[in-house]
Amino acid sequence: MSVPSQSVDTAAPVSPAPPKAAFETLLEILRQRYLASFLSVAGGLALWELISRVLVANSLFLAAPSQIAVAIYNLARTGQLGHHVGVSAAEFALGYVIACAIGIGLGLAMAASATMKQALQPWVSGLYATPTIALAPLFILWFGIGIWSKVLVVVTLVLFPVAINTEAGLRTTSERLIEMLRSFGATRRQIFLKVSLPSAVPFILAGLKLGIGRGLIGVVVAELFGSRAGLGNLISQSADAFNMPDLFAGVVILAFAGIVMTAGFGWLEQRLVPWTRD
């Protein structure tokens, strides 16, 4: 070999690699971690494109990825997309924040007192298992087709997993850690703040993560039942008009939002609760 080889002594300190080698290492890492995923997604999209152009060459039934991309571009250009996304995002955000606040509060109350838990448990468990989304038409009747009926749907869907996880997280605090704090003369309040709450954070985050998917479903389905704007509205109007590219545009945006928010939570978990990884 003409190139001077690197030291083979693995115990020696690693010298900084030259830039080119670093770039190649990066490529290697990308290839190892993401190549299969990338090929799978790209292959899937290509297959979809092929099927919708050759096999189901009927734009009333299926839109090709390229057509969807064009539709998204056009909807964005005219400002329609921004409006729909804005309305849905507002509904989701309001409902989600309200649900998290109440849900964490309920969880805390249930963990704090046995009586409280006995009183609330049947409601929380029952409503968690109920597809409360079926109440969306009722909420629209009560609160009109504006955003508040959707906010309520989101709240009823997100609230219960958050409450259940918060309570579970606080309840499963390690007895060993509580005992350790007690040995240092900690008060009940200090035990709650310094052990129970921090150790419940991973559970609470898992509940919040679960709430994302449920909340998005809530927004869209509630909008399908009756709305003036929003991604659900876009989807239902496009379906009525047999405008498949616009319909899929709505779906793709929703999928994207779900993926981004869930990935965001994954990142948040790594930052906030790194000790749960191992």
Partner 1 sequence: MSKLAISRLNKSFGDLEALRGINLAVERGEFISVVGPSGCGKTTFLRIIAGLEQATSGEVLLDGHAVRKPGSDRGFVFQNDSLLPWRTVLDNAIIGRELAGPVRPADRKDTMELLKLVGLEGFEHYHPRQLSGGMRQRVNLARALAIDPEILLMDEPFAALDAQTREIMQTELLRIWERGQKTVLFVTHQIDEAVFLSDRVLVFARRPGRLQAEVKIPLPRPRNLAIKRTSEFVALVDRIWRMIEDDVRAAALYENT
Least distance in Å: CB of 183 to partner 1? 4
Residues of this chain, 137-196, that bind partner 1 according to CB under 8 A: 176-177, 179-186, 190, 194-195
By CB under 8 A, what part of segment 193-232 binds partner 1? 194-195, 198-199, 201
Name which of 120 and 273 has its Cβ closer to partner 1: 273
268 near partner 1, rule: CB under 8 A: no
Q: How many CB atoms lie within 10 A of CB 265?
A: 18
- Decide if 62 contacts 56 (C-beta within 8 A): yes
Nearer to partner 1, 6 or 190 (CB): 190
174 closest CA partner among 147, 194, 148, 151: 194
| CA-based R_g, the chain, Å | 25
> Minimal distance in Å, beta carbon 176 to partner 1?
5
CA distances from 198 to 113, 172, 190, 276 (A): 19, 12, 12, 12
Between 93 and 186, CB nearer to partner 1: 186
Shortest distance in whole angstroms from residue 261 CB to partner 1: 24
User: Nearer Cβ to partner 1, position 169 or 245?
Assistant: 169
**DSSP assignment of 123-178, as one string?**
HHHHHHHS-GGGGHHHHHHHH-SSHHHHHHHHHHHHHHHHHHHHHHHHHT--HHHH
CB of 151 to partner 1, least distance (A): 34
Residues lying near partner 1 in the complex (CB under 8 A)? 176-177, 179-186, 190, 194-195, 198-199, 201, 273-275, 278
